Amino acid sequence: MYRMKLFLTVALLLSQLIPSFAQDPDDSNNPIPVPEQPKTKVIKLNANITVHHFAMPVKDIQMIAICGDSVNLGYLPYKRNYFKKSIALPDKPLQDYLQEYVNKQYGDQYKSDNGKDLLCLIQSFRIAEGAVDKAYVHIKAVAFLSADNQQFQLSCQIDTTLVYDNRRDSRAHSENIAQAIDLLMKAADRQNITTAFHSKDEILNIAWRGYKQPIYTTSQFNDGIYTSYKEFLKNVPSVTNFTLGVEYGKIVAYHIHDDSTCNIINQPWGMCYQGQLYRYNVNWFIPMKRQGLSFMVTDPEFKSDQELKITGGQAAESVAAFLLFGIVQLPGFHVPSGNLIGTLPFLNNQIDPPIATMIDPFTGEFMF
């Protein structure tokens, strides 16, 4: 009863301040701050490591990158600030970045007469750092072999993360990336070939299929609660009449039924609220945005336009919730406590784990 009275009292007091929260964004007295532009760090792939020597004759190696984020290599802590990120960039388009390196490092092994063509399809290639002394490289790829460069057979699939100590400079990241590529070459050389044959076009069409889901092509995200990743991909939330609340310091979503009764939605996948997307993470809704063919976690240090347009009523409820539970959590806000990697949960047990920055397109879980 005391908490309810306090909530109502605070809400009434704050109602006097609603105009200050709800000013027109164009009001010169309440300008929208210009977000600071993120820092960038170029990672050149110029490592000169000892590479795998193929047992099978290889005529050519072709690298094809079909990734959700084919522009960035990942996000790195900026000046050891765990929550402020710099963007790790290749010095050229990702496919050229990988192809030029492979030609340079493995080209002297090519045999034009009786070699096989090796087609490597890169589905995910990311780097990350912990806050102190860990560096991470994740590679997800499939490799195919062909005797005539027309029909290909699956040779290997890898999906692994390499962890290194004390690798914080650009040259070290280059070496880590080179080691990941060499791991793919070693796996392809084992030649665990399947019997099925596929044309190159068929392989590429299958690889692009996942990115043809409505969520990647729509210009409008539908408001509601997504109870599964499948609903999110289809842009069809199963719960469209909902509200949010705070229970025991946790944000919960309620499904409001036609008879005005409601129930808590246990472990929702995510939410779309006024066109803004969120991924549910333990007890919070984490804002995210579509960037190319990937969904990135919104940087907790910068507020988006959606965050700046919070209404006075929402602000009053938010501050009241803070006084009652010691938190502020409404659409547009989240607690930057570090998102756990859902796709590779073993990384969370590392002494210096990476922070999640995106949604894994294959699982819908958090990924670095």
CATH number of the domain residue 64 falls in: 3.40.50
| Percentages (nearest 5) of helix, strand, coil residues in the chain | 25, 30, 40
3 state DSSP class of 21: helix
pLDDT at 13 over 80: no
- Quickly state the pLDDT bin for 351 (edges 50, 70, 90): confident
pLDDT digits (tens, 9 = 90+) for 282-317: 778 889 999 999 999 875 443 333 332 323 333 334
CB atoms closer than 10 angstroms to residue 254: 18
| Amino acid making up residue 244 | L
Residues 24 and 106 grouped into a single domain: no
CB 86, CB 127: distance < 8 Å? no
- Quickly state the pLDDT bin for 153 (edges 50, 70, 90): very high
- Interval 227-250 mean pLDDT: 91
Euclidean distance between CA atoms 245 and 260, whole angstroms: 16
Q: Retrieve residue 264's tokens.
A: 């808590």
Q: Retrieve residue 48's tokens.
A: 């000169």
Higher pLDDT, 12 or 184: 184
pLDDT at 346 over 80: no
Residues 89 and 194 grouped into a single domain: yes
Residues 231 and 304 grouped into a single domain: yes
Q: Retrieve residue 350's tokens.
A: 């590392």
Q: Which residues, in sequence order, are bridge partners of residue 224?
A: 272
CB 326, CB 248: distance < 8 Å? no
- Quickly state the pLDDT bin for 194 (edges 50, 70, 90): confident
Residues 205 and 83 grouped into a single domain: yes
Residues 6 and 60 grouped into a single domain: no
Label residues 124-146 b or e (16+ Cβ within 10 Å = b).
bbbbbbbeeebbbbbbbbbbbbb
Domain boundary among 211, 228, 258: 211
DSSP state of 172: H
Higher pLDDT, 50 or 338: 50
pLDDT at 332 over 60: no
Return the percentage of the chain with pLDDT > 90, whole number: 50
Euclidean distance between CA atoms 268 and 39, whole angstroms: 33
- pTM of the predicted structure, to 2 decimals: 0.77
Q: To which residue do tokens 């796709």 refer?
A: 343
- E-strand ranges in the chain read 39-43, 58-65, 74-78, 81-90, 116-129, 134-146, 151-165, 198-199, 224-226, 242-247, 250-256, 262-264, 270-273, 276-281, 284-291, 294-297, 358-359, 366-367
pLDDT digits (tens, 9 = 90+) for 241-269: 998 888 777 788 899 998 888 899 988 99
Residues 12 and 149 grouped into a single domain: no
Q: To which residue do tokens 């922070």 refer?
A: 355
Residues 147 and 23 grouped into a single domain: no
Q: Domain count of the chain?
A: 2
pLDDT at 145: 95
- Interval 142-171 mean pLDDT: 87
Residues 248 and 126 grouped into a single domain: no
pLDDT at 35: 53
Domain boundary among 163, 178, 211: 211
Domain boundary among 185, 211, 237: 211
pLDDT at 79: 66
What is the edge-to-edge ordering of all strands in the sheet holding 242-247? 242-247, 250-256, 262-264
How does the average pLDDT of the chain come out, rounded?
A: 79
- Interval 164-190 mean pLDDT: 87
Residues 203 and 218 grouped into a single domain: no
- Interval 89-108 mean pLDDT: 96
pLDDT digits (tens, 9 = 90+) for 207-222: 999 999 999 999 999 9
- Quickly state the pLDDT bin for 81 (edges 50, 70, 90): low
pLDDT at 317: 43
Residues 75 and 200 grouped into a single domain: yes
CB atoms closer than 10 angstroms to residue 72: 21
Residues 295 and 356 grouped into a single domain: yes
pLDDT at 5 over 50: no
Q: Retrieve residue 102's tokens.
A: 């492979």
pLDDT at 226 over 50: yes
Domain extent for 363: 2-34+213-367
The length of the chain is: 368
pLDDT at 143: 96
- Interval 124-141 mean pLDDT: 90
pLDDT at 26 over 70: no
Residues 16 and 163 grouped into a single domain: no
Q: Retrieve residue 120's tokens.
A: 């490597």
pLDDT at 352: 79
pLDDT digits (tens, 9 = 90+) for 41-63: 999 999 989 999 999 999 999 99
